Amino acid sequence: MKQKTALNIILYISLVGVLFSGTLSFFELAMSSCPLGGCSSLAGIPVCVYGLIMYIAIFVVALIGRK
């Protein structure tokens, strides 16, 4: 598999992750409800926010790698 193809796949998967964890973070922070049931938190911050930050970082790194 070519490097650009691999980076495109990583980019699309991370975009799906950003959308999913962003939706969960929005509901958890703005609506104060978890659509999946029991959501947990770490150091007072919902874990979906950590996932959102991770997926954004992966998206940015893959985007930089494509250029």
- pLDDT beyond 90 at 63: yes
Q: Which residues have C-beta within 8 Å of that of residue 21, sequence separation ≥ 6? A: 48, 49, 51, 52, 55
Q: How confident is the model at residue 26 (pLDDT cuts 50, 70, 90)?
A: very high
Domain range annotation of the chain: 3-66
Asked if residues 49 and 43 have their Cβ atoms less than 8 Å apart, the reply is: no
pLDDT score for 18? 97
- pLDDT beyond 90 at 46: no
Q: Which residues have C-beta within 8 Å of that of residue 63, sequence separation ≥ 6? A: 11
Cα gap 27→17, rounded to integer Å: 15
Dihedral in degrees, nearest 10, Cα atoms 10, 55, 63, 2: -10
